[in-house]
Structure 1
Amino acid sequence: MFLAIDRGLSNVDFFLKDNNEEKFWVEDNAKFVNEHDLLRYIDSLTSSLPISKVGLSGGKSKTILSDNSIWEYTSEIDAFCIGAKKIYGFERGLVISCGTGTACAFADKGINSHLGGIANGGGFIHAFHKHFLNYSNIKKIHQLAANGNASNVDLLITEAVGNLGDLDPKLTAVNFGKLKDSNSYLDSDVSQAVMKMVGESIGTVAALYAHILGVTDVYLTGRTAQYPSVRNGIDSILATAKLSSVFIKESAKANVIGVMESLENYESNN
């Protein structure tokens, strides 16, 4: 029995596998006030279940590695690249990990290269809604954004300059541009605009890396990629660049799936 753990900044994902039986679950990172709390939680699992190997990745997870020989570490870049390859079945591709922040990597056969990233992601979305719109529950945040219209607060290209080459005139020219001279807005419009802005930022950096690497598909992982307004923002930019995003719901678990794959590969090679 193997236990894979991805310690993110917002969530901690767990994946327990025993032959063909699999169990996934997630805990809020706030549950673990410090590293000792997480270690105690893991120890409770290893002491009550016949776990032979523990794999760990994400955030500062390397700092809590035990001296116990059953522990194995997988870098965050390797984790989401290996997980994406397992889920999507590609051998060479650009992977964008959309989590609390956003990381970009190039997976080419057995080599996973970190390209860079941006600070925009789910962390910004949650913090903005909590402190400026007084929404903390993620389901309610989604509902709020779904009822909004970002074009009521964003200035679009068609409104700013008319036509601009081959660009979609409905793309954003200035985020929150209409609020420069107005104090009237709906929270739902602002919510959707924030989501869309994060998506457009992710889409822009993904498009740049895709053109540099000469690829046309962008493989998305992470929970933030599940947010509809974020995905719309990503896809609007990629479509303009004649690129496509690839995303399925399971890819939100790409990191912890990658850790499990690393554990199994380690065992088979040793």
Structure 2
Amino acid sequence: MAQRKELAVAIDFGISNTDVVVRRQGEWLTWSQPYLGDPDPESVRALLAHQQIDLADLPMLAVTGGRHRVLPDEIGKTKIVKVNEVHAIGRGGQALLGLEGSARDRLVMVASCGSGTALVTAQGDRYAHVSGTAVGGGTMMGLARLILGTIDPLEIEALAARGDRNGVDLSLADVITGPIGSLPAEATAVNFGRLGRRTFHGQVSREDLAAALVNLIAQTIALITINAARAHGCEQVVLTGHMMDMASFRAIVGLVAQYYAAELKVVERPGYATAIGALLLAEESNAR
């Protein structure tokens, strides 16, 4: 395999965020900006200039996600390498799990928790989209606009951290007065179920609503991921995507994993996994 370049860059054009990763002499630099529409050569140049990177200095730029294919095959003298998003998700998951060389032969499940959620199996250089859900960060933002009056993820996170989800949800203790199987009495029985009771006439705080909302999103994703991983016999499971940036989301994912005796790996830079995967795949393809 050819030696890696001192400077390598990839961009993931997501539905909600555009993520950039730069590897410079072995060190990683990452940043994001909100989705601003279809990419074009000028927006790419401006995005890189944010960190004083001149596109003309790059012999190759890896791109993936969203509508990355609307870009030309070259911008100036820079080759634009377009990477299949499913493959980038899988390769990024392998990389963040530290699976390189023969270790990549392990069958792993990568859950990309972005605006929606994609479940991708990765084994060696084989990647497949096997399931997913339309529930994700976009769902959280849309419902937050309706019930919290905000789409600011930092505000949602701050509210959720101070809230009690069982001020909105019904727990097993509420429904059957105790635990069931491996689930403790405080586990959720019905998301937002307390508000659906005819006898409910109280007030609900924004904090409790935010906690219940994050709980709904995180539980759905974690359960689907665990079940899909078991159905496909995956040895390891990792969750990536910017939903994993939220401490409240990670906490619920951890609880679900505990309840169902599953191990869901938490890794560094989860929101940039797809961009990292695109960069590695572009380099590996170029080295063949």
Return the TM-score normalized by structure 2: 0.85
Out of 164, 187, 196, which is 1:171 matched to?
187
Code of the aligned partner of 1:40: E
Q: Residue 4 of structure 1 contacts residue 259 of structure 1 at CA under 8 Å; is this kept in 2?
A: yes
Shift of 1:43: 4.3
The separation in 1 between residues aligned to 2:112 and 2:28, in whole angstroms, is: 23
Give the secondary-structure state (helix, strand or coil) at the position aligned to 2:15.
coil
Structure 1 counterpart of 2:59? 52
**Does 1:210 find its partner at 2:229?**
yes
Q: Deviations over 1:107-144 (max 9, x none)?
A: 11111111111011111111222232112322221111
**Does 1:88 find its partner at 2:97?**
yes
Change (3 A) 1:95 1:33: closer
Shift of 1:18: 4.5
**Does 1:145 find its partner at 2:154?**
no
Give ranges in structure 2 of 5+ residues lacking alignment.
1-6
Q: Residue 197 of structure 1 contacts residue 233 of structure 1 at CA under 8 Å; is this kept in 2?
A: no
- What percent identity do the matched residue pairs reach? 25
Structure 2 counterpart of 1:194? 213
Structure 2 counterpart of 1:77? 86
Change (3 A) 1:131 1:53: same
Shift of 1:48: 5.3
Q: Residue 159 of structure 2 contacts residue 210 of structure 2 at CA under 8 Å; is this kept in 1?
A: yes
Shift of 1:213: 2.1
Structure 2 counterpart of 1:10? 16
Q: Deviations over 1:214-236 (max 9, x none)?
A: 23642111110222222232222
The separation in 2 between residues aligned to 1:21 and 1:89, in whole angstroms, is: 16
Structure 2 counterpart of 1:99? 114
The separation in 2 between residues aligned to 1:230 and 1:21, in whole angstroms, is: 28
What does residue range 24-35 of structure 1 map to in structure 2 within 5 Å? 24-29=30-35, 32-35=36-39
Shift of 1:268: 1.5
Code of the aligned partner of 1:57: T
The separation in 2 between residues aligned to 1:234 and 1:172, in whole angstroms, is: 13
Give the secondary-structure state (helix, strand or coil) at the position aligned to 1:258.
helix
Count of aligned positions:
264
Q: Deviations over 1:161-202 (max 9, x none)?
A: 133233222221111111123242111101010101111101
Q: Deviations over 1:44-78 (max 9, x none)?
A: 5586541100111011222x131327111111111
Change (3 A) 1:74 1:228: same
The separation in 1 between residues aligned to 2:236 and 2:29, in whole angstroms, is: 30
Q: Residue 207 of structure 1 contacts residue 237 of structure 1 at CA under 8 Å; is this kept in 2?
A: no
The separation in 1 between residues aligned to 2:14 and 2:55, in whole angstroms, is: 24
The separation in 1 between residues aligned to 2:27 and 2:248, in whole angstroms, is: 35
Give the secondary-structure state (helix, strand or coil) at the position aligned to 2:282.
helix
Give the secondary-structure state (helix, strand or coil) at the position aligned to 2:183.
coil
Q: Residue 171 of structure 1 contacts residue 236 of structure 1 at CA under 8 Å; is this kept in 2?
A: no
Give the secondary-structure state (helix, strand or coil) at the position aligned to 1:245.
coil
Shift of 1:22: 4.3
**Does 1:114 find its partner at 2:121?**
no
Considering only aligned residues, what root-mean-square deviation do their CA atoms show, in Å?
2.0
Give the secondary-structure state (helix, strand or coil) at the position aligned to 1:247.
coil
Change (3 A) 1:169 1:6: same
Structure 1 counterpart of 2:3? none
Q: Deviations over 1:236-256 (max 9, x none)?
A: 222222101111231221011
The separation in 2 between residues aligned to 1:257 and 1:117, in whole angstroms, is: 21
The separation in 2 between residues aligned to 1:268 and 1:33, in whole angstroms, is: 32
Pick which of 120-129 and 42-51 moved more.
42-51
Structure 1 counterpart of 2:273? 254
Q: Deviations over 1:61-102 (max 9, x none)?
A: 22x131327111111111121112112123221111111111
The separation in 1 between residues aligned to 2:55 and 2:84, in whole angstroms, is: 27
